[in-house]
């Protein structure tokens, strides 16, 4: 069960008889720039801006208390607000290609702390490039994390093909990256998983300490391939649109 009856929030001194739920903040980073797909986060995907899919999935969460879109762009802010999202404007230096997402998250936390004295207990990073993630995925991941002893949670999906088959090119020839047994059938290898970019969860105190979701004890949340599309280029965009049109993905 998710933390239903929790310790009273430290700011609840005026109404101590009220039980306050764990404060869970979802952060959606959405800058304007994109190298492979211009204005990717607001590009229309089957009738809606790409960003809208993530906003709508978290908006119906049973566990997320608050969600915000972090952007430097006025148009993205306007579109986000039209889908009932709260917007926090980030400085332009945090909207470059090389800007670390962790610094964007820290900026959101600092703005909320300074302006409202609001400090959540748990944060969730939801990237808009994962439009097929569902509300159920978000709530189930929160439940898994809350019931665990882990420091963080990252959503993953199983590799389509075992990476033990990988080759590298060396001086014009293919060289096996791993052992000589790499030609064996996939069934002999352990199942391996990769982050799918969809859901990242940790406690604020953990994040502020190490500025990362990659902690020593990461809990996995396993998602199927059809909900693990992470849009990076036009090919990914086409796959996501196909899955939505055919009903294989989220509508």
Dump pLDDT digits (tens) for 195-247.
999 999 999 999 999 999 999 999 999 999 999 999 999 999 999 999 999 98
Residue 85 pLDDT: 97
- Sequence-distant (≥ 6) Cβ neighbours of residue 22 within 8 angstroms: 2, 3, 6, 65, 121, 122, 146
Whether residue 168 lies inside any domain: the answer is: no
Helix (H) or strand (E) holding 139: helix 135-146
Domain that holds residue 44: 24-157+194-245
How far apart CA 34 and CA 51 sit, in angstroms, is 14
Structure tokens at 14: 């005026």
Domain containing residue 138: CATH number: 3.90.550.10
Would the pLDDT of 12 be above 80? no
Share of residues in the chain with pLDDT > 70 (%): 87
The b/e string for 215-238 (b: 16+ C-beta within 10 A; e otherwise) is beebbbbebeeebbbbbeeeebbe
Q: At what angle do helices 135-146 and 50-59 cross, to 10 degrees?
A: 50
Whether residue 10 lies inside any domain: the answer is: no
Whether residue 178 lies inside any domain: the answer is: no
Beta bridge mates, 124? 26, 201
Whether residue 12 lies inside any domain: the answer is: no
Q: Where is pLDDT greater, at 38 or 35?
A: 38
Whether residue 172 lies inside any domain: the answer is: no
Phi, psi dihedrals of residue 193, rounded to the nearest 5°: -130, 150
How far apart CA 173 and CA 153 sit, in angstroms, is 39
Whether residue 81 lies inside any domain: the answer is: yes
**Count of domains in the chain?**
1
Would the pLDDT of 15 be above 50? no
Whether residue 150 lies inside any domain: the answer is: yes
How far apart CA 193 and CA 152 sit, in angstroms, is 16
Whether residue 170 lies inside any domain: the answer is: no
pTM of the model: 0.87
What pLDDT, in 10s, does the model give residues 151-165? Answer: 999 999 999 888 888
């Amino acid at each position: 069960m998710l933390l239903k009856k929790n310790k009273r929030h430290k700011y609840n001194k005026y109404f101590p008889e009220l039980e306050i739920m764990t404060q869970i903040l979802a952060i959606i980073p959405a800058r304007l720039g994109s190298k492979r797909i211009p204005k990717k986060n607001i590009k229309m995907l089957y009738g809606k801006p790409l960003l809208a899919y993530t906003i709508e999935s978290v908006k119906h969460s049973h566990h997320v208390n608050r969600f915000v879109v972090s952007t430097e762009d006025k148009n993205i802010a306007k579109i986000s607000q039209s889908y009932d999202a709260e917007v926090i404007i980030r400085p332009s230096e945090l909207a470059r290609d090389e800007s670390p997402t962790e610094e964007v998250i820290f900026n959101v936390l600092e703005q909320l702390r300074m302006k409202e004295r609001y400090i959540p207990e748990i944060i969730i990073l939801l990237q808009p490039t994962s439009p097929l993630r569902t509300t159920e995925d978000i709530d189930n991941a929160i439940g898994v994390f809350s019931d665990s002893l882990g420091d963080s949670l990252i959503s993953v999906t199983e590799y389509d093909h075992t990476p033990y088959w990988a080759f590298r090119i060396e001086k014009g020839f293919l060289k096996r990256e791993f052992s000589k047994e790499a030609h064996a059938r996939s069934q002999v290898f352990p199942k391996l998983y990769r982050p799918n970019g969809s859901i990242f969860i940790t406690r604020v105190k953990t994040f502020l300490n190490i500025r990362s979701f990659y902690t020593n004890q990461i809990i996995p949340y396993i998602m199927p391939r059809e909900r693990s599309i992470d849009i990076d280029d036009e090919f990914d965009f086409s796959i996501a649109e196909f899955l939505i049109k055919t009903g294989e993905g989220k509508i």
